[in-house]
């Protein structure tokens, strides 16, 4: 194996262009990744399962095709989150229940990515069943933040975010219910996009009309994020939520910065405490945009019912998805999982109906809000990366949270609106830890979101240009 370490520093768009032009091969990329992972991952534990033999077999089959038939990714390697099944590759869901699980088929999402020339070489670390905003589990242990290995990488797409920040991936798959993609992006200084539900097709699971969960792309910059969204999006009859592929290219929109006319900024959406340093860094980013000619107003849509609605809808989702596991393996589930499933099993029809009505009202108010604003900006996460030994954030700015998910409200409130939301770097704390800005656009307007985010990226100049070594 002859590695070319300089490939690690390139952008994903540059890698795909070089693949199409025949300057490099997927095998070159896999060699570079394998060497980088061997050097870096023992210190951060981001990619606990690797499948390089499978990846090289896929690469050779892809390379046998004409260059024009290799899909939008043209042979780009990427990791898949360990909550999503890949045929023949150990997929644990971060749980002892599935510690030795080898799927017989891949999720629709993976099938679509591979059809577009994506080559899977590993699984990225997750918390058990994606629950909680800290990536640790009983199968593989904890994933560490590369900016300071005493801190959390957040979750549940923590392994993907760490792999990107450290050069063990050019792009990565993530998914998000209450910030599972956005929070790790914020903590690790990379970009993560939660699209409108249905933009990316996947196996629907128990709840075929689920609007809480969405899969999306993660990368080190906005253009690379658009590149992966191009490969991930599109409808599939097996996923009733899935939306048709549009004629536009998300990569092209993400590569063409466009200045928004009018932006709303809110440090807290009126529903959550926020660490003062995080709020100040995000407000400074909004003020910089105002100084560049964008109209910025401190306001937000009314999302006051978000806590009650999300707690109920999430609990219903957990009961539908995991009640059988609680019955069969109660001793193998972490306490937070047990609490969430039991809460869902106790729900009444009236409570569920009320949550659905609250969500419908918040969607309507948000759509109307975007008649007046191009974007809504907030902190992506209300705290900087916290100590890895803390299971979750228990308090912030003098406020003590009631449950293990309350600290995620600034993300899950946006989840309820179905609006696409992107987390991108906007600065660093005094300790040198990344802070992310949440950028939200009108539902189904990912193309506008990426173009506006590209403008913000150019103005803030906070994006990682080359991977970091763990610290």
**Chain-wide mean pLDDT for the chain?**
97
Query: Global pTM?
Result: 0.98
d(CA 29, CA 329): 41
* 26-40 vs 12-20: helix crossing angle, rounded to 10: 150
Structure confidence at residue 5 as a pLDDT band (50, 70, 90): confident
Structure confidence at residue 4 as a pLDDT band (50, 70, 90): confident
The pLDDT tens digits of the residues spanning 219-241 come to 999 999 999 999 999 999 999 99
Domain boundaries, the chain: 5-460
Does position 283 have pLDDT exceeding 60, yes or no? yes
- Per the CB < 8 A criterion, the answer to whether 264 and 297 are in contact is yes
d(CA 438, CA 300): 13
Q: Percentage of the chain surpassing pLDDT 70?
A: 99
d(CA 412, CA 406): 9
The pLDDT tens digits of the residues spanning 338-391 come to 999 999 999 999 999 999 999 999 999 999 999 999 999 999 999 999 999 999
Nearest in space to 243 (alpha carbons), one of 440, 448, 418: 418
Specify the CATH architecture of the domain 5-460.
Alpha-Beta Complex (3.90)
The pLDDT tens digits of the residues spanning 98-155 come to 999 999 999 999 999 999 999 999 999 999 999 999 999 999 999 999 999 999 999 9
d(CA 204, CA 215): 11
Q: Percentage of the chain surpassing pLDDT 90?
A: 98
User: Given this model, what pLDDT does residue 167 score?
Assistant: 98
Backbone angles phi, psi at 81, to 5 degrees: -60, 145
Catalytic residues: 81, 156, 180
Does position 1 have pLDDT exceeding 70, yes or no? no
Q: Which residues contact 89 (CB under 8 A, 6 or more apart)?
A: 49, 51, 54, 102, 103, 120, 123
**What single-letter DSSP state applies at residue 467?**
P
Nearest in space to 82 (alpha carbons), one of 114, 123, 41: 123
CA dihedral 218, 221, 223, 229 (to 10 degrees): 0
- Considering only CA atoms, give the Rg of the chain: 20
The pLDDT tens digits of the residues spanning 20-72 come to 999 999 999 999 999 999 999 999 999 999 999 999 999 999 999 999 999 99
DSSP 48-66: -EE-HHHHHHHHHHHHTS-
Does position 3 have pLDDT exceeding 90, yes or no? no
User: Given this model, what pLDDT does residue 394 score?
Assistant: 97
């Amino acid at each position: 194996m002859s590695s070319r370490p300089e490939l690690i520093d390139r952008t994903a768009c540059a890698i795909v262009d070089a693949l199409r032009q025949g300057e490099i091969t997927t095998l070159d990329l896999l060699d570079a990744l394998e060497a980088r992972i061997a050097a870096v991952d023992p210190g951060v534990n981001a990619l606990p399962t690797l499948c390089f033999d499978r990846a090289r077999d896929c690469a050779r089959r892809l390379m046998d095709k004409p260059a024009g038939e290799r899909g939008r990714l043209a042979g780009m390697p990427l990791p898949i989150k360990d909550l999503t099944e890949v045929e023949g590759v150990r997929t644990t869901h971060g749980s002892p229940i599935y510690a030795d699980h080898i799927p017989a088929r891949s999720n629709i999402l993976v099938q679509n990515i591979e059809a577009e020339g994506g080559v899977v070489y590993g699984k990225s670390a997750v918390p058990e069943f994606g629950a909680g905003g800290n990536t640790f589990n009983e199968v593989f242990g904890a994933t560490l933040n590369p900016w300071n290995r005493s801190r959390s990488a957040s979750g549940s797409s923590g392994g993907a975010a760490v792999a990107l920040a450290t050069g063990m991936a050019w792009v990565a798959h993530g998914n998000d219910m209450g910030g599972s993609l956005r929070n790790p992006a914020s903590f690790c200084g990379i970009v993560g996009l939660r699209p409108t539900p249905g933009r990316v097709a996947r196996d629907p699971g128990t709840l075929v009309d689920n609007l809480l969960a969405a899969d999306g792309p993660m990368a080190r910059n906005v253009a690379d994020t658009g590149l992966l969204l191009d490969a991930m999006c599109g409808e599939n009859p097996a996923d009733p939520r899935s939306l048709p592929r549009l004629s536009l290219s998300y990569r092209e929109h993400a590569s063409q910065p466009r200045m928004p006319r009018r932006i709303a900024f809110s440090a807290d959406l009126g529903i959550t405490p926020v660490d003062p340093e995080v709020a100040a860094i995000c407000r400074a980013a909004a003020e910089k945009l105002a100084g560049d000619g964008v109209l910025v107003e401190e306001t937000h849509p009314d999302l006051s019912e978000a806590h009650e609605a999300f707690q109920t809808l999430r609990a219903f989702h957990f009961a539908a998805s995991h009640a059988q596991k609680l019955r069969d393996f109660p001793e193998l589930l972490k306490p937070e999982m047990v609490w969430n499933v039991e809460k869902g099993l106790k729900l009444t029809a009236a409570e569920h109906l009320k949550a659905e009505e609250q969500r419908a009202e918040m969607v309507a108010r948000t759509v109307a809000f975007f008649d007046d604003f191009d974007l809504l900006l907030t902190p992506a996460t209300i705290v900087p990366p916290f100590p890895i030994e803390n299971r979750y954030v228990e308090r912030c700015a003098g406020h003590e949270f009631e449950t293990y998910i309350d600290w995620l409200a600034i993300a899950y409130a946006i989840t309820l609106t179905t609006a696409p939301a992107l987390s991108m770097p906007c600065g660093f704390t005094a300790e040198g830890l990344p802070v992310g800005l949440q950028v939200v656009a009108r539902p189904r307007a990912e193309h506008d979101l990426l173009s506006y985010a590209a403008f913000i990226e150019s103005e803030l100049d906070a994006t990682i240009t080359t991977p970091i070594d763990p610290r």
